[in-house]
Structures are given as structure tokens and as C-alpha cells.
Structure 1
Amino acid sequence: MKLDKFITDEESPRLIERTREFAEHFFEREGTHGFSHVERVFNLCMHIGREEGADLEILALAAILHDVARPLESAGKVEDHAAEGARIARHYLRSLGYPEEKVEAVVHAIEAHRFSRDPKPRTLEAKILSDADKLDAMGAIGIARVFMYSGEHGRDIDASLEHFEEKILKLKDIMYTETARNMAEERHRFTVKFIERIRREIEGEI
């Protein structure tokens, strides 16, 4: 996370780096939703946020904290990592004396980042976080993550391809921001070409 590329306010980088250290402790292992995913979502958020005129500090904090409860959900300890992550983020940011209005802006973005569940994102920052999270499921990274997940859960190639059809190929049509829609188009094309190629290889055509 190269913060000076995105945020020039003197205090923000220190706050964000402290938050990064806090969030990283929740991730004991890598995987489909490891901390590397958080870092990619952060980078996507900063890119989209600059283009869309978002509050980069709120967006950065939301991006870093958005999946802190994902390991708890994976372990069956909580039902919804977005809701639990929002609770953790609220407690953490309040402990730092962060302004309450900004706390709630970060919390809302985390609560609303899952496209398949309510609440829907109301703010620009929440929409960008949702878009960035979806973008990381597309393109070359998205393909790698699908097969990482399949390896983690014993899913075969056919089941993986079904997942592309049922979820991944629909993501480009549910982006909120223009910047993300443009990025999604290229990632979608790449994914479609990959699926076409692997299906031909399965049939022995290449």
C-alpha cells in the first residue's frame, strides 16, 4: 500500500498505516480472501476514488477493514462478515477518537460492500468499495481466485466454470461507478476468452 501515491494529508498516512497493521492481524493465512485481497481492493479503491472524487481517507480505511471478519465467517463463528466487520471497525475507530461522522461513513461502506446482501451502498465511498471488491473477482486475478477457492474446497474444473457463469460473468453489469464499469469491461472480456479457451481444451480441440 503506497499511501503517498494517493493521500497527501500529513495525518492520514499514519492513521491508515496503523489501521493496516491492526487489520493484518486478523489474517492468519493467505487464500482467496487473505490480506493480499485486501491490499488489491485498497489499490483499486484509491484508483477509482481519485477518478470519482471520493473522500480517500474514508475509502482507504473502509477498504483496509472491509474483510477483517472474513476469517471468522470462514470458521463458522459469525454469519455475515460484513456486519461483524462493521462492528469491529466502529469499535476500533472510536477507540482512536476518530470523528463519529467519519466512523459511520466507514462503517456503512463495510456493511454495504457485499453485492448479494443488503444494505445497498448509499455513499460514493460505499459504492466504490463494492465496485473494487467485485473487480477483484474478475480478470486474471479473478480467474486465479476462483481456482484457488476450488482447490481449498475440493471443487473440480466443471464446478468452477459453473461459478463463472452463475456469478463472475454477471459482475460487470452491477458496477456503480463509471470508472469501475470501464475497468470491468476489460476484465470481463479477458474472463470470457479464458472460459472459451478452457472449454475448447476440455473438448480436446486445441
Structure 2
Amino acid sequence: MRLADFISDPKSIELIERTREYAKHFFEREGTHGFSHVERVFNLCMHIGREESADLEVLALAALLHDVARPLESAGKVEDHAAEGARIARHFLRSIGYPKEKVEAVAHAIEAHRFSRGPEPETLEAKILSDADKLDAIGAIGIARVFMYSGEHGRSIEDSLAHFEEKILKLKDLMYTQTAKRLAEERHRFTVEFIERIRREIEGEI
């Protein structure tokens, strides 16, 4: 994806690329919440944000920084990666002179991106980030991530399928924007077809 296809201001592009490099250093390894996840969420945010007429600069920065504290949470060093990520984002963006009101817009989107706990997203950009993060858990990528996690944690295929039922299949109905709802329908349908197929294979159907 070419950022210039979405944002034309060279200063904005430079800021976003600087933020991308800053965000990268928080991720020492790949995995279900590695930097590749951040990049996919970023790409989704740009596409959805353009359709929904969002502030693409705020959205881009929030997407790149939304999971910077995820490795800290995984290591047990912080309790809530969204709250800690917002703190880190505030510190970084203030240090480079980003306007205060936009810093807070980015921080709010990061704080509100988790669907499983508050606060609720109040701005369009926060809603799009939350939608993009959920969309990356559905469809082909979502299926791959579930089984990556299962491999990392020694979880069985049956346990993985239970996770689909308990969480993944519910995400379609939690989208905020019309664009994300449309994308979620297609990804949800693919996920359901996969689950039905793998269950048939577990039963040994020919």
C-alpha cells in the first residue's frame, strides 16, 4: 500500500513514517500481535478511513501506536496495553511537537480500541481503529492468527474452534462503521465456512 495514495501532504507522510519507525522498536519478535498485525490494522484504517472521511493523519498515528505496549502486557509488566499504549503515544507525540488536541485524539483512539473493555470509542477515528483491529481477527488472517496463537500456547484444534465460537464469530456484530460492517460480513462468511469444513474433517467425513 502506498501511503501517498491516501495522504498527499509530505509533512504528514514524514510524520507517519517517523512514527512507524518509532513503533517498530517495541516489537522484538513476530506473533499474533507482532508488527505485521500493526501494519495490517494500519492498512485497514487507511482504506476504511478514506471511505468514512476520517482524519487520516490521526488515524494513521493511532494505528501504528495502538499495540506498542502489547509486548509489555504479554510479559506481565503492565495490566492494560491500551492504557499504557496511550501514555506512550502521548509522550512520543508531545516530544516531537504534535498539536495537543491531535495528541489527545490519537491517545483516545488507542485507549478505546479494545472491544473487551472500555472506554467506548467516541470519535470516528477511534471507532475505525477498533473496527480495523477486530477485522484483523476475522477471515483468512483471523484463522491464521488463531492457530498461530494455539501453536504458541499448546492449544488443541478443538480448543481453537471453541475460541472461534466464544469470540471470533461475535465480532461481526460489534463493528461501528458501515464500511467495516460490509467487510466483516465477507470475512465472517469465510470463517464460518472454514469452521464447518474443519469440523467435517475432524469427524472423518469423506
TM range (shorter): over 0.9
Question: CA-atom RMSD, angstroms?
Answer: 0.6
Amino acid in structure 2 at the alignment position of 1:70: R
Partner of 1:124: 124
Give the Cα separation in 2 of the matches to 1:10 and 1:28.
Answer: 29
Partner of 1:115: 115
Where 1:30 maps in the other structure, the secondary structure is coil
Partner of 1:66: 66
CA displacement, residues 107-151 of structure 1 (integer Å, 9 cap, x when unaligned) = 000000000100000000000000000000000000000000000
Give the Cα separation in 2 of the matches to 1:170 and 1:195.
Answer: 14
TM-score (norm 2): 0.99
Amino acid in structure 1 at the alignment position of 2:106: V
Shift of 1:50: 0.2
Give the Cα separation in 1 of the matches to 2:10 and 2:22.
Answer: 20
Structure 2 portions without partners, runs of 5+ = none
The residue correspondences of 1:159-170 to structure 2 (distance < 5 A) are 159-170=159-170
Shift of 1:2: 2.5
The residue correspondences of 1:38-117 to structure 2 (distance < 5 A) are 38-117=38-117
TM-score (norm 1): 0.99
Partner of 1:18: 18
How many matched pairs? 206
Amino acid in structure 2 at the alignment position of 1:111: E
Shift of 1:3: 1.2
Amino acid in structure 1 at the alignment position of 2:74: S
Give the Cα separation in 2 of the matches to 1:183 and 1:97.
Answer: 36
Partner of 2:193: 193
Amino acid in structure 2 at the alignment position of 1:83: A
Partner of 1:30: 30
Structure 1 portions without partners, runs of 5+ = none
CA displacement, residues 51-101 of structure 1 (integer Å, 9 cap, x when unaligned) = 000000000000000000000000110000000000000000000010000
Give the Cα separation in 2 of the matches to 1:5 and 1:168.
Answer: 31
Amino acid in structure 2 at the alignment position of 1:191: T
Amino acid in structure 2 at the alignment position of 1:81: H
Give the Cα separation in 1 of the matches to 2:27 and 2:41.
Answer: 15
